[in-house]
Structure 1
Amino acid sequence: MVNEIPGVNMAELRLRGFKVHELPAYVEVPAVHGRRDFYKMGLVTGEMTIGYGGEILELNGTVLFFVNPRVSRSVVRRSVNTTGYACIFTEAFMPPIVKKSPLWNAAENPMIPLNKEQAAFIRGMFQKMMAVHHSDYSNKADVIKNCIELVIHEALSIQPPGRSPQTGAARLTHLFMDLLERQFPIEHTAAPLKLRTAQDFAAGLAVHINYLNRAVKETTGRPTSVHIAERIVAEAKALLQHTDWSIAEIAYALGFDYPSYFNNYFKRIAGVAPKSVRFENHK
């Protein structure tokens, strides 16, 4: 399954809400991760090519990384001696600081390069989390949360937020992308998606729709409507693959008045019908 991680018991992760582990020295390539419903941060040394949110990122050296569960990603490992640690946790387990931290912002590069001293400190924090994770201490979850917060604070001190060029167009695009991502994942059908058009987002950001469209096109090279459509379809695929909701329920959850509208929309963007995605996933 796409949703599995080498060396990680997924049932235990969902039960406890967190998992700390040492990265395996070698994983067959490519290791396609896709979308998952948990946050991840880690320390890794090695060489690899990472696909993250439509971008290709090259890793060479030691970096601290933060993975947003809403962003699709894949990893192609180019080194058999990659080393490091990872901490994975669900949104329910997540410390409050994570919700406010820009480190998981979908519009940002998820990797922060580290020097030897910084890497040594972060490595010590992960080793501490691993030791606590495997101990019998009854309050281990609280210690893990404290360690996560310390890593976040250290990361912010190394590389403060605001890494993207802060032109007017880039800033507005950043806000648009952040507002788009905040709507996901869809967790139940009772609260359907509210922002579905460029006009909806322009109103939410208190700007004229022409200004928003021009800023997003200038910064990303693609229209606002394309970003919205692709993100809605990506969420639809995730719901088709990872839930037992009917196609009608998914349609309503994504803000479509009628399942037929959703079917036509999905097929126009994805090139296949929703039932094809569900059928392929359950072969």
Structure 2
Amino acid sequence: MKLYPNIRDLLLDWGITPKLNNENIFIFRIEDHFENKPLSFGPYQQDFFELTFGIGHDADIKIGVSQFKPIKASISFTSPYQITSWSINRFQEDSLGYMILFKPQIMGGSLNKIDFYKRYPFLNLHTSPMLFLNDEQQNTIVHLMQTLHKEYNDGGQKGHQTIIAAYLTIILEKIREFFQTPDNLGFTSRAQEIAFRFEDLLKHQARYDLKIPHFAEQLHISTAYLSEAVKQATGKTAHGIIKEYVILKAKSLLTQTDSSIGTIADSLGFTEATNFNKYFKKNTGITPKTYRKLP
């Protein structure tokens, strides 16, 4: 499974030779680059966000453990280090789609990483990675996507990057509005902030062999303080959350790759496939092999 650290490399593997006006963002109309014929890609991970709007696309999408077949107007969200794969079966005659690949840096220094996730919680790992739109919402997003696409391709004028960042912000704010997200999204305690940072590390470091002291060291706090803060903020133990992420990653790899059970076990930090089998069955009730065969 390939990890893409930058937008350009992913686009090149899609057969798109990008003219990047800014390394932190790229927007394109899907029909301009993907032909109306079966096409599959993935699984893969990336170190940036992927926001896709589509209507009239006969496609199969897997983001993490969630699977979708969107025909109606929808927006999907892929966050850094989520495991993703998709296949396009065909486009309907009136199909329309846009994809935005971006890093938060495009929006300047107004939001740090934590503030960004707090402001737009639909981009977090545990939220639903797809939102289906009603007619009014669809019209709003189509207009904004078309405008952003035009502005992006008209690069060069004074203030261009500011305009791009502004339209992306408007799109994210509109999606936030569609989700009816409460305004009070701030941390109310140091424990909440620590728990958030802990889970942020787990998004791309979830392995069975990485224990609580490993994450405490990265957060520059004691193991006891990390455990106490996570328990206070989430009601769960730090060990329990590590286990959730390991299982979540295991499920994604089982459903989105053809890798052997042994290869998956090794990537998750298990020294033996049998240990992984026991661990998975203990926490899900079924073996990895049985889970892979589920419809």
- TM, length-normalised to structure 1: 0.61
Give unmatched runs, 5+ long, in structure 2: 5-9, 183-193, 206-212, 218-222, 252-265, 277-295
State how far apart, in whole Å, the 2-side matches of 1:69 and 1:84 are.
21
Distance 1:143 1:28, change over 3 A: same
Report deviation, 1:180. Answer: 1.8
Query: Which of 1 and 2 has higher RCO (CA within 8 Å, sep 6+)?
Result: 2
Corresponding residue of 2:166: 146
State how far apart, in whole Å, the 1-side matches of 2:136 and 2:249 are.
42
State how far apart, in whole Å, the 2-side matches of 1:69 and 1:178 are.
14
Q: Is 1:83 matched with 2:96? A: yes
Q: Is 1:93 matched with 2:106? A: yes
- For the 8 Å contact 1:64–1:112, the answer to whether it is kept is yes
**Superimposed CA distance per residue, residues 62-107 of structure 1 (whole angstroms, 9 cap, x where no aligned partner):** 0122221221111122333353111111243245274331120110
How many pairs does the alignment contain? 217
SS state at 1:65 partner: strand
Corresponding residue of 2:244: 227
Q: Is 1:137 matched with 2:167? A: no
State how far apart, in whole Å, the 1-side matches of 2:167 and 2:134 are.
20
Distance 1:87 1:225, change over 3 A: closer
Corresponding residue of 1:265: 269
Corresponding residue of 2:188: none
Corresponding residue of 1:243: none
Distance 1:137 1:195, change over 3 A: same
- RMSD value over aligned CA atoms? 4.1
Q: Is 1:29 matched with 2:29? A: no
Report deviation, 1:202. Answer: 4.1
SS state at 2:181 partner: coil
- For the 8 Å contact 2:125–2:203, the answer to whether it is kept is no
State how far apart, in whole Å, the 2-side matches of 1:263 and 1:108 are.
25
Q: Is 1:57 matched with 2:78? A: no
Corresponding residue of 2:231: 206
State how far apart, in whole Å, the 2-side matches of 1:224 and 1:102 are.
19
Give the partner amino acid of 1:57.
F
State how far apart, in whole Å, the 1-side matches of 2:233 and 2:139 are.
48
Give unmatched runs, 5+ long, in structure 1: 163-174, 187-191, 217-222, 235-261, 272-283
Distance 1:79 1:195, change over 3 A: farther
Report deviation, 1:263. Answer: 9.3
Q: In percent, how many aligned pairs have the same letter?
A: 12
Corresponding residue of 1:68: 79
Report deviation, 1:122. Answer: 0.9
